């Protein structure tokens, strides 16, 4: 009888059983693809094959992910970086009140799930006050991208007298808040990284020590007020993020393991630390420019129940019945994401006419045509439709999240487009919401006005492409487009959007240096700094703030530290017009040269010739270890801007 072992991709392969010894040695076969991080570890290939880790971790959770994190945390980040220099690295400093060594493994795994290499340093027990208050501490010396100041309930209760009353807890909590607020201000002044705090759970073993319900209510109220103050700290400190643990605890996670708390001074339970690490992973993904921008959803079985082609519009499940209510709840969540700048698209194997009628006319639909940038309904492979949609929107395919209930379709997209985040929902529509939201694909630090109007702007962009198709030449199209550009010093109202552009723009981003709002604000306020915002509009509408030029003066030289532009407005001459304006302004204000940097990344190769096309020459011997090249313009001859661009420039005080 033949045996049918699993192959590397999970399918069955028929292998005949040998009936006699082979006369000659069998031919060598290629090694099987690893199916887990443990496979790579056992084979001694975890370092060499590190780029495969991301895909191997994608489906994991719970103990399996923790085990993988333990293996990954044994790797030397320097060796990984030397072997794979293209892998982005995030330096994380962990400090706090309790013992936090159990955070290393889940944090390593969560960052690796998003293609990031974690360099983690955990401070000693209860060292957060020293770490954050002394600019000479090892924490600041590491120049971390993320600082996790992990707070726990014992940070307060360790200093409450025995016996105690709610008033004692209130006094200590107020003192702790004052200390934390001072540390946040100190960090903001001393570091350009992001500081992460968290709210503190209130364990039952403390409320239960109060025998009267009135005192318990008083304790609960003052504890929540303390946490609310921690959450509101971020309003005054742009470099701060506070993670609210209450929604995580509501998932049924244990907050405290009493034995670990008493014996090991580990005051937050391992499961809660692992869930917290997932939130940190989402934040790290955003800070490295990997936030997803587009949500593409299947229809039959995903956005509504049933099969439209078989059941007809009147037979699909939406709004009515308990399953219809579940699909409606899912549509409401999708619409909520769209209202905050996530681009929504439908990608379905269906005929377009009945699909359009459902979105326009079905009384139970929450999502409508105007909520979507595009509805694609045909019988072509979905990965082809996704690739074409990415091209039409001028977005990288790695900015897409695809949701489908079909394991077959999900598998095809994973195989053909590995950079797409695939969310496979099951047959129970009530669980669709949890599946979509589990990974925080669209998390960002702050919403801007541009975010809320993004869907309309991208719909306009598709209209522009249709308009382009009506012309025989690109020049004729650009002249009729009537592009208008405003280049001006960054104002306070622009700070959040400019910082967001540095964090989310990858293709037209000359150096991909990620800036916080505090960084942008400081640059705009620096008399020697250059911080310019680019706005554009055309016959189809206002594109908003779409780019920035950032730099500084040094003597007679103007240094352009970064130049970035939204992918929505590529190839219209905006970048050339703005560069010419900056060069003219530099010359008119006494500069003798302008220097521009380009640091290559896997995604910005399209702009590697940006400075040479603008009349710059590469400076000799100016290439750094990370590949950064410096280009120089002597201001002797400045190219004229494209004649179809109408540009106004107001440099204010940013370069004075």
Dihedral sign (CA 214, 216, 217, 218): positive
Domains 86-287 and 449-650 agree in fold: no
Topology at the third CATH level for domain 449-650: Aminopeptidase (3.40.630)
DSSP β-bridge partners for residue 593 = 557
From 573, 332, 546, select the one nearest 454 (Cα to Cα): 546
CATH architecture of 294-437: 3-Layer(aba) Sandwich (3.40)
What pLDDT does residue 58 have?
A: 85
Within 13 Å, how many C-alpha atoms sit on residue 4's CB side?
4
The domain spans of the chain are 86-287, 294-437, 449-650
Question: H helices within 28-135, ranges in order?
Answer: 37-42, 53-57, 62-72, 77-83, 104-113, 128-133
What pLDDT does residue 246 have?
A: 96
What pLDDT does residue 538 have?
A: 84
Which residue ranges in the chain fall short of pLDDT 70? 1-32, 453, 460-461, 463-472, 621-626, 653-656
User: Where on the phi/psi map is residue 62: left (φ > 0), alpha (ψ -120 to 50), or beta?
Assistant: left
What pLDDT does residue 468 have?
A: 63
CA 654 to chain centre: 30
Structure tokens at 291: 């936030």
Q: What are phi and psi of 551, to 5 degrees?
A: -170, -165
Per-position b or e across 287-307, b if 16+ CB within 10 A of its CB: bbbbbbbbbbbbbbbbbbbbe
Structure tokens at 510: 């000359």
Q: Cβ of 212: how many Cβ atoms within 10 Å?
A: 8
Task: Provide the 8-state DSSP code for 150.
Answer: E
CA–CA separation, 539 vs 464, rounded Å?
9
pTM: 0.74
Using DSSP's 3-state secondary structure scheme, residue 19 falls into coil
Q: Strands across the sheet with 421-424, in order?
A: 374-378, 343-349, 294-297, 400-404, 421-424
User: Where on the phi/psi map is residue 615: left (φ > 0), alpha (ψ -120 to 50), or beta?
Assistant: left
Question: Cis (ω within 30 of 0) for the bond into 163?
Answer: yes
What pLDDT does residue 621 have?
A: 67
What pLDDT does residue 568 have?
A: 72
Rounded to a whole number, what is the largest CA-CA distance in the chain?
Answer: 88
Topology at the third CATH level for domain 86-287: Rossmann fold (3.40.50)
Structure confidence by residue, pLDDT tens digits, 353-373: 999 999 999 999 999 998 998
């Amino acid at each position: 009888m033949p045996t049918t072992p699993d192959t590397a991709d999970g399918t069955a392969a028929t292998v005949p059983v040998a009936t006699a010894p082979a006369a000659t040695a069998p031919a060598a076969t290629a090694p099987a693809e690893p199916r887990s991080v443990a496979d790579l570890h056992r084979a001694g290939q975890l370092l060499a094959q590190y780029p495969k880790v991301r895909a191997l971790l994608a489906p994991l959770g719970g103990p399996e992910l923790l085990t993988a994190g333990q293996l990954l945390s044994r790797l030397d980040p320097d060796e990984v970086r030397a072997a794979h220099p293209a892998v982005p690295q995030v330096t994380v400093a962990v400090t706090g009140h309790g013992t936090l060594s159990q955070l290393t493994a889940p944090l390593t795994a969560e960052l690796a799930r998003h293609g990031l290499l974690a360099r983690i340093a955990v401070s000693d027990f209860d060292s957060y006050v020293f770490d954050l208050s002394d600019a000479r501490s090892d924490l600041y010396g590491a120049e971390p991208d993320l600082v996790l100041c992990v707070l726990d309930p014992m940070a307060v209760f360790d200093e409450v007298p025995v016996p105690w009353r709610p008033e004692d807890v209130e006094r200590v909590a107020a003192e702790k808040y004052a200390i934390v607020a001072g540390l946040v201000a100190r960090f903001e002044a001393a570091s350009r990284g992001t500081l992460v705090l968290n709210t503190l759970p209130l364990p039952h073993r403390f409320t239960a020590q109060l025998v009267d319900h009135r005192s318990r209510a008083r304790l609960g109220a003052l504890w929540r007020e303390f946490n609310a103050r921690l959450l509101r700290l971020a309003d005054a400190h742009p470099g701060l993020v506070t993670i609210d643990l209450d929604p995580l605890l509501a998932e049924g996670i244990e907050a405290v393991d009493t034995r670990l708390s008493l014996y090991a001074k580990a005051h937050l339970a391992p499961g809660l630390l692992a869930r917290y690490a997932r939130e940190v992973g989402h934040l790290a993904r955003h800070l490295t420019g990997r936030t997803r921008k587009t949500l593409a959803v299947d229809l039959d079985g995903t956005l509504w129940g049933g099969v439209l082609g078989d059941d007809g519009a009147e037979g699909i499940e939406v709004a009515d019945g308990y399953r219809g209510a579940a699909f409606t709840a899912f549509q409401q969540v999708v619409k909520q994401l769209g209202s905050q700048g996530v681009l929504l698209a439908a990608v379905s194997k269906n005929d377009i006419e009945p699909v359009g009628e459902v979105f326009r006319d079905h009384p139970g639909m929450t999502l409508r045509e105007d909520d979507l940038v595009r509805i694609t309904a045909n019988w072509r492979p979905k990965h082809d439709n996704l690739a074409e949609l990415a091209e039409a929107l001028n977005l990288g395919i790695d900015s897409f999240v695809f949701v489908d209930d079909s394991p077959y379709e999900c598998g095809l997209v994973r195989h053909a487009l590995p950079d797409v985040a695939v969310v496979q929902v099951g047959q129970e529509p009530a669980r669709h919401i949890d599946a979509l939201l589990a990974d925080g694909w669209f998390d960002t630090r702050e919403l801007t006005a541009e975010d809320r109007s993004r869907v309309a702007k991208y719909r306009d962009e598709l209209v522009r492409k249709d308009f382009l198709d009506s012309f025989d030449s690109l020049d004729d199209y650009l002249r009729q487009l009537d592009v208008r550009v405003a280049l001006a010093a960054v104002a306070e109202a622009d700070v959040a959007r400019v910082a967001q552009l540095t964090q989310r723009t990858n293709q037209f981003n000359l150096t991909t240096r990620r800036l916080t709002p505090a960084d942008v604000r400081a640059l705009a306020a620096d008399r020697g700094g250059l911080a310019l915002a680019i706005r554009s509009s055309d016959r189809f509408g206002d594109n908003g703030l779409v780019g920035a030029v950032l730099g500084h003066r040094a003597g007679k030289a103007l240094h352009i530290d970064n130049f970035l532009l939204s992918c929505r407005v590529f190839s219209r001459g905006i970048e050339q017009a703005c560069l010419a304006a900056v060069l003219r302004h530099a010359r008119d204000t006494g500069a003798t040269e302008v220097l521009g940097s380009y640091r290559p990344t896997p995604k910005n190769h399209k702009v590697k010739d940006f400075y040479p096309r603008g009349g710059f020459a590469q400076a000799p011997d100016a290439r750094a270890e990370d590949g950064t090249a410096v280009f120089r313009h002597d201001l002797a001859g400045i190219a004229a801007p494209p004649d179809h661009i109408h540009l106004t420039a107001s440099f204010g005080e940013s370069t004075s």
